[in-house]
Amino acid sequence: MAQFRVCPDSGFYFDKSAESLMKVNAIAGAVSLLIAGILAIGVILTRWQEVHLLPADLFYQALTGHGINALIFWIIFFEIAILYFASSTLLRTRLAAPKWAWLGFILMVVGAVMNNVAVAQGNSSVMMTSYAPMQAEPHFYLGLILFAVGALIGVFVFFGTLVIAKDDQTYEGSVPLVTFGAITAAIIAVFTIASGAVILVPTFLWSIGYINHIDAEMYRIIWWGLGHSSQQINVAAHVSVWYLLAGILFGARPMSEKVSRTAFLLYILFLQLACAHHILVDPGISSEWKVFNTSYAMYLAVLASMIHGLTVPGAMEVAQREKGLTKGLFEWLRKAPWGNPVFSGFFFSLVIFGFIGGITGVVMGTEQINLIIHNTIYVPAHFHATVAVGTTLAFMALTYLLIPVLFRRSLFLPWVAKMQPYVFSAGMTIMILFMLGAGTLGVSRRHWDMDFTGAALSFEYPGTAYMMMAVGGIGGVLGILGGAMYLLVTVGSLVFGKKLEPSAGLFQSFGVPLSSGSYNIQQPERLPMAPKLAVEQHGSAGFEAPGTFVLAMALLVSFVVYYFINWDYLASVWPLS
Amino acid sequence: MPEEDNIPKPERIPFFQRLLENTFLLLFIGVAMPTVFYILWGIMEIATIPVAE
């Protein structure tokens, strides 16, 4: 029975079941992003001290919901959609066990709803980390557990699909690099979800009274195996999306498949160990554990990110130069399609992730200089650079590509889509930079009142800290506007976008398959192995991507300067003799 | 010349490529590494903290 359709614009093959599952997961992710965005208004306008919008209880409630929806539900729903795309579509194979995939999706939705209800009821304002001995309502933990189980089913459906593709020989040679990146993300997801189960199941039992004690330090260590690794799934996933988008937009091929795959292997080996940076100031844990997991192992993962940061734009530059854009160092970049939100979103994601997220991540992972900014607002600034811009913007860019290809609708309000990556990136970058500054001045994260009104032990921040939080607040509002523009375009496209196929109706936008006549392919053609690039051959002595090399050097210089500024700052605030 | 000498031998796949193509081995390594170095070692550190009297 025929079950594939081919997209006439992109040439991608879509398995009927996988297509519906990609759609519903992406939509569930967008709904989570909407909730996260609405709650972000309350968070950012409260931390902007002159506005100070919410009372304390509502602030912590909004912060809890914002964190979980943005950092867990939005990204993992979307990542499951990416896993199905990277396996079924890219390998031209049917999805393994679609019924199990639907069960996984339903569990994820039930879990997400249950957790949001618990937060909305007001007795679970324990923030995303839900550190014991703070206790939430049982359905807060149960919701997270159900969501994790559903996601785990999705991950194993992905692995099953890889097995089917291999058995059916639907591709020649090795899996494409994008699929290999998705495999990396899925492997990290297994560890992430297993860590979540190990700590959330006993915590749930504790919340209903079956267990009388959860050790706070034990909780922190295992919970961060979930909390931080979930963000490492993002890194592997959005790097894969970068390779995909560079390939689709420019026909760019990795400069070296071997090097890029080795970089993904470094992620598999070392990226998850970076969880340890959250524990760097915890007493009772040895320096050996802290230093091995962060300052040794983590740097190998950072090396992998630097490789990707070099090879993705490098591949793009090589492809552009082959088209004749060879003038000077940056003609290839100047003449890139800046008006296409798929490109601008992808490129801003790459630059902001590397320059801000990457550099600040290394500072936070160094035991000594981490002391300056640990648990300050510097930390959310860092992960807004990595997750809110690096991952989210890459996913937004991918959405603009998928709306015509997967949903068969044209973009609604294309001029809004064109502006959106600029508005979102500008707003978020302002917010991030000023929050980094405020964090360096010691402003706490997750703190309702910078004034310490009525506190027994008060503290007065310098005026500059207030100014930085205010400018950061303006940037945050602009970033939220950018997020709203994304949702306007995506939801508008699904509902009002011009149909690119007659049967792409409203229900089809939300997961119902297209008319049966659209799926007229029994088995797609075998995916051929790409020929080796000239740039991959030994002895290609030319300097293939000089512009990218200059950008990489700019990153390296920025990193070195910023790193030593932090050491100098540490020496001034913490004098040792 | 024996006939089997004319049959081309399949190209030997390098070890590193075989490693990268073995998804389930990568899955094992990817879960084992952080479990040992982060989780188990971390738990041992906590378990060896003396209990206050």
Q: Do B46 and A217 touch (CB under 8 A)?
A: yes
Which range among A13-22, A100-109, A140-149, A270-279 shows the weakest confidence by mean pLDDT?
A: A270-279
Cross-strand partners of A376 = A444
Question: Is pLDDT above 70 for A532?
Answer: no
Confidence (pLDDT) at A299:
84
Distance from CA of A374 to the nearest CA of B (A): 20
Q: Which of A162, A286, A297 sits opposite B23 (nearest CB)?
A: A162
**Of the candidates A190, A276, A284, which has its C-beta nearest B31's C-beta?**
A190
Confidence check: pLDDT of A125 > 80? yes
Residue A5 bridge partners (DSSP): A14
pLDDT confidence band for A102 (50 / 70 / 90): very high
Q: Which residues of B touch A265 (CB under 8 A)?
A: 19-20, 26
Provide the 3-class DSSP secondary structure of residue A462.
coil
End-to-end CA distance of chain A: 78
Instruction: Return phi, psi of residue A80, to 5°.
Output: -65, -40
Tell me the DSSP string of A358-379. Answer: IHHHHHHTSHHHHHHHTTBTHH
| Neighbouring residues of A322: CB distance < 8 A, sequence distance ≥ 6 | none
pLDDT tens digits, A292-337 = 998 778 788 889 999 999 999 999 999 999 999 999 999 999 999 9
Q: What is the pLDDT of residues A480-517, one digit of tens each?
A: 999 999 999 999 999 999 999 999 999 999 989 999 88
At residue A296, the pLDDT reads: 77
Residues on chain B touching A289 (C-beta within 8 angstroms):
41-42, 45
pLDDT at position A541 is 47
Token pair belonging to A482: 């950018």
Between chains, do B38 and A272 touch, taking CB under 8 Å as contact?
A: yes
Give dist(CA A381, CA A428) in Å, integer: 9
Per-residue pLDDT band for A577 (boundaries 50, 70, 90) equals low
What is the CA A209 to chain-centroid distance, rounded?
35
B29–A268 C-beta distance less than 8 A? yes
Neighbours of A192 (CB within 10 A): 29
Evaluate if residue A542 carries a pLDDT over 60. Answer: no
Give pLDDT tens digits for A416-435: 999 999 999 999 999 999 99
Q: Tell me the whole-structure pTM to 2 decimals.
A: 0.94
Flag if B39 and A285 touch (Cβ within 8 Å).
no
Residues of B in contact with A221 (CB under 8 A): 38-39, 42-43, 46
How many Cβ atoms sit within 10 Å of the Cβ of residue A457?
Answer: 5
The DSSP secondary structure of A65-102, one letter per residue, reads HHHHIIIIIIHHHHHHHHHHIIIIITTT-PPS-HHHHH
**Residue A187 token pair:** 């492997």
Residue with tokens 């972000």: A40
Can you tell me the distance from the alpha carbon of A251 to that of A533, in angstroms, rounded to the nearest whole number?
A: 12
Cβ neighbours of residue A336 closer than 8 Å, sequence gap 6 or more: A316, A320, A343, A347
* Contact yes or no for A180 and B46 at CB 8 A: no
Chain B: residue whose CA lies nearest to A267: B30
Contact B38/A187, CB-based, under 8 Å?
no
| A188: chain B residues, CB-CB within 8 Å | 30
pLDDT in tens, A140-184: 999 999 999 999 999 999 999 999 999 999 999 899 999 999 999
Name the residue among A180, A218, A273 with its Cβ closest to that of B34. A273
- Asked if the C-beta of B25 comes within 8 angstroms of chain A's C-beta atoms, the answer is no
Instruction: From residue A357, give the alpha-carbon distance in Å to each of A237, A306, A362, A389.
Output: 16, 12, 9, 9
Do residue A180 and residue B39 have CB atoms under 8 angstroms apart? no
Instruction: Tell me what the pLDDT averaged over chain A comes to.
Output: 93
Tell me the shortest Cα–Cα distance from A190 to chain B, in angstroms. 7
* Closest by CA position to A494, among listed A30, A56, A182, A4: A30
Are the beta carbons of A191 and B30 separated by less than 8 Å? yes
By Cβ distance, the residue of B20, B24, B31 closest to A265 is: B20
CA dihedral A460, A462, A464, A465 (to 10 degrees): -40
Distance CA A3, CA B38 (A): 44
Most distant CA pair in chain B, distance = 85
**Where are the extended beta strands (E) located within A320-473?**
none
Q: Do A191 and B20 touch (CB under 8 A)?
A: no
Residue in chain A closest to B28 (alpha carbons) equals A187
- How big is the A-B interface in CB pairs under 8 Å? 83
Of B29, B38, B43, the CB nearest to A269: B29
Output the CA angle B7-B10-B11, nearest 5 degrees: 135
**Is pLDDT of A354 > 70?**
yes
With an 8 Å Cβ cutoff, the interface of chain A facing chain B consists of 159, 162, 174-175, 180, 183-184, 186-188, 190-191, 194-195, 198, 215, 217-218, 221-222, 225, 229, 261, 265, 268-270, 272-273, 275-276, 279, 284-286, 289, 292-293, 297
- To the nearest whole Å, the CA of B14 is away from the closest chain A CA by 12
Residue A480 is predicted with a pLDDT of 97
How distant, in Å, are the alpha carbons of A168, A206, A433, B9 from that of B21?
A: 16, 42, 41, 21
Which pLDDT belongs to residue A539? 47
Average pLDDT over residues A239-267: 94
Cα of A92 to nearest chain B Cα, Å:
18
| A152, A203, A293, A325, A372 from A198: Cα distances, Å | 14, 9, 20, 53, 32
Distance between A261 CA and the closest CA of chain B, angstroms: 8
